[in-house]
Amino acid sequence: MPKRCANIHKRKDNRWEGRVKVGRYPNGATKYYSVYGKTYSEVKDKLETIKSSEKIAQKSGSGGPTFSDVVEMWLSSVRIEVKKSTVYRYEYLIERHILPILGGYKITEISTSVINSFLEDKMKNGKLDGKGGLSAAYVKAMSNIIKMVIEFAVSEELCLPLKSKISRPIEEKDDIPILSHEDQAKLKAYIDNNMDLTGLGIIISLYAGLRIGEVCALTWNDIDLRLGIIHIRHTVARIKQNDCFERNGSKLILDKPKTKSSQRDIPISSILMPYLCAAQRNATSEFVVSDKDQFISPRTYEYRYHRVKQKSVIDDVNYHALRHTFATRCVEADVDIKSLSEMLGHSNVSITLNTYVHPSMDLKRKQLEKLSA
């Protein structure tokens, strides 16, 4: 068993307490700062963060730490709390976009106006190749990171809170197209006549609403044909390696789904069941849509989907449109929205209604017909 730190102990109220020296009182007695947590590990991590803060303050001199220093501290704290793929997205935006502009500022110099000016410039000229601005969603992600870093700095008493709110970019969301009933029938007919592992994954997304990363990560152990349930427990995600984002600077891993609600159980419909039964009998890999002992890359799988799409002569829609189509067909069939939301892995029904459900003209006509019933 690893040796425990002498400055961490369990209290009578069952909480853990850790102490770190922060100086001396005028009478010479040692001054301590205490942190508390539910577990030994939680307290140990908090103490490590405080020690990092002290080192940064010493390194940065009387002017205080730079924004880059605080970002480093913040990343150290979030790495133990969030998924590797989430950290990858944070680090990419930080290293490619945020630190080159804001990194040299002292944390006390980061004001709302400085942040807003940075975000506005990214909207207009943010692309790394210099050819235009970044999308509102991309810049909004940077805004969220900066906000979290500032909040962390305030909690560590490295700076004061911002005097006004950061201007958040407004996202103009376009409706994501779905397959028409005609195109859905054409796609299914083509797959029925040319069944392979690519077609199997398309059918799974079309009739169970899985994301492409979830399809690529799906194994036969996740599918219970006897009970008729698909267990979503993993997705394929990208993380950084070799401390860089250049060529070969990242790799794909099996990771947990992006949220707790994304870990879910989906009933297998009567349409989907025959496809899965037939595929399992002929399976050569533990992965449902791969013929090797390794999951397939989502990028490779989407490329194969586009080939199937072209051969089936349907409208040009991306793979995610299959998930949207599934949600819309469920609404058309009067599936309970709460149940649909859980099958899609959403944390609340508003996401399902506002983002994924696209009423077709047939559905609108069906609803209006109720007026004369």
**Residue percentage of the chain with pLDDT more than 90:** 46
pLDDT at 202 over 70: yes
Which residue did the predictor score with more confidence, 305 or 16? 305
For residues 177 and 184, give the distance between their C-alpha atoms in angstroms, rounded to a whole number. Answer: 12
Tell me: pLDDT of 193 over 80: yes
Tokens of 308: 């199937």
Domain contains 20: no
- Look at residue 48 in the predicted model and tell me its pLDDT: 77
**Are 199 and 153 part of one and the same domain?**
no
Any idea which of 3-12, 123-132, 159-168 has the lowest mean pLDDT? 3-12
Domain boundary among 172, 196, 213: 172
- Are 266 and 314 contained in the same domain? yes
Claim to verify: residue 147 and residue 197 sit in the same structural domain: no
293-302 tens-digit pLDDT = 999 999 999 9
pLDDT of residue 6 exceeding 70, the answer is no
Q: Which pLDDT belongs to residue 362?
A: 64
CATH number of the CATH domain containing 74: 1.10.150.130
What are all long-range contacts of 360-366, with beta carbons under 8 Å and residues at least 24 apart? 360/178, 360/180, 360/181, 360/328, 360/332, 362/181, 362/332, 363/328, 363/331, 363/332, 366/332
Q: pTM value? A: 0.67
Residue 225: inside a domain: yes
Give the distance from CA 201 to its chain's centroid.
21
6 located within any domain: no
pLDDT band at 247 (very low <50, low <70, confident <90, very high): very low
Indicate the residue among 123, 140, 172 that finishes a domain: 172
Q: How many domains does the structure of the chain reveal?
A: 2
pLDDT the model gives residue 177: 82
Read off the CATH number of the domain in which 236 is found.
Answer: 1.10.443.10
Shared domain for 113 and 212, answered yes or no, is: no
Q: Percent of the chain at pLDDT above 70?
A: 83
Q: Residue 359: pLDDT band by 50, 70, 90 thresholds?
A: low
324 and 227 inside one domain? yes
> What's the pLDDT score for residue 60?
46
Asked if residue 300 and residue 211 are part of one domain, the reply reads yes
One domain, residues 207 and 242: yes
Q: Which residue has the higher pLDDT, 359 or 339?
A: 339
Determine, yes or no, domain membership for 108.
yes
Structural domain includes residue 215:
yes
pLDDT for residue 358 is more than 70:
no
CB atoms within 10 A of CB 38: 10
Q: Indicate whether 126 and 212 sit together in one domain.
A: no
More confident residue, 7 or 282: 282
> Is the residue at 42 inside a domain?
no
pLDDT one-digit tens code per residue, 106-152: 999 999 999 999 999 898 888 877 778 888 888 999 999 999 999 99
Work out the average pLDDT over 312-318: 89
Q: Calculate the average pLDDT of the chain.
A: 84
State the angle between helix axes of 197-208 and 298-311 in degrees (0 to 180), rounded to the nearest 10. 90
Indicate whether 237 pLDDT > 50: yes
CA distance 149 to 153: 6
Residues 156 and 265 in one domain: no
> Model confidence over 337-352: pLDDT tens digits?
899 999 999 888 887 8
Specify if 353 maps to a domain.
Answer: yes
* Predicted confidence band of residue 59 (pLDDT cuts 50, 70, 90): very low
Q: Based on the domain organization, do 340 and 270 belong to the same domain?
A: yes
Q: Report the range of poorest mean pLDDT among 60-64, 306-310, 312-316.
A: 60-64
pLDDT value for 168: 79
121 and 241 in a single domain? The answer is no
pLDDT at 63 over 70: no
228 near 268, Cβ under 8 Å? yes
Q: Are residues 258 and 337 in the same domain?
A: yes
Question: What tokens were used for 323?
Answer: 């998930």
Once rounded to an integer, what is the mean pLDDT over residues 11-20? 83
Answer yes or no: is 289 within a domain: yes
Q: Which domain holds residue 77?
A: 64-172
Quick one: tokens of 271?
């349409």
- pLDDT of residue 54 exceeding 60, the answer is no
Domain boundary among 127, 153, 172: 172
